[in-house]
Amino acid sequence: MRFLALQAPLPIVASPQMTSMTINGEAVRFTLDPATPLLWALRDAANLTGAKYGCDSGECGACTVIVDERAVPSCTMSIGSLEGADIITIEGLAPNRAHPVQQAWAAEQVSQCGYCEPGLILAIAAMLRANPRPSEAEIMALTNICRCGIGPRAEKAIARASMELTGGDSLDLLARKNATPQTVPEAPKRFSNGSSGEAQIPPQ
């Protein structure tokens, strides 16, 4: 059991109380104001900085962690509401980054600036845990926002991870992408700015 308090007090700290939960398989007890957002408890008290601060309103997904097998925005959850919860952050998803989503991320060279990626990887991992062969609608329902445009590569990583998890054939999504070059531009995805993320080379 680890006992954790904020290293630098938040301005809103009121009456600290004990809140116990499991984080990445380890029993943890926070001595903090129960209203403290999980994001700040993770980052400032537990020194788990993989979850990122973005919108602070549950919209962008940068702070996503897995709570009791569901991907949730940690900025919107108070630790007081998480007594006894089982939490997984990007640091604890798998030893040596061996989770199928992390392996697929590397194989498809998804990474760009990285800010959105811990949250997006955890959202995908939770989705595939619930359904290893997600529909395109389920994939499009991911609400994480990326400003760099990794969406198309992330989709390929989802398909690759799904194949790894199921041992099956490719998802329809991957089959379509590999079949023929697309002639019709795709509608912008929620977790993509619609760009390929590649530099535009002017004609010679």
* Interacting residue ranges for ligand FES, rule: CB under 6 A: 53-56, 58-63, 73, 75, 112-117, 146-148, 150
Q: In the complex with ligand FES, which residue's Cβ is closer, 56 or 164?
A: 56
Nearer Cβ to ligand FES, position 53 or 80? 53
121, 170, 202 from 199: Cα distances, Å: 24, 29, 10
Q: Return phi, psi of residue 111, to 5°.
A: -60, 140
Nearer to ligand FES, 9 or 114 (CB): 114
Residue 61 Rama label (left phi>0; alpha psi -120 to 50; beta): left
Residue 121 Cβ, how far from ligand FES at the closest point, in Å?
11
Which of residues 99 and 189 has its CB atom nearest to ligand FES in the complex? Answer: 189
Non-local CB neighbours of 133 within 8 Å, separated by 6+ positions: 162, 166, 168, 171
CA distances (Å), origin 151, targets 13, 22, 122, 173: 38, 31, 15, 13
Q: How far is the CB of 203 from ligand FES (least distance, A)?
A: 28
Minimum CB separation of residue 90 from ligand FES in Å reads: 14
In whole angstroms, how close is the CB of 197 to ligand FES at the nearest point? 8
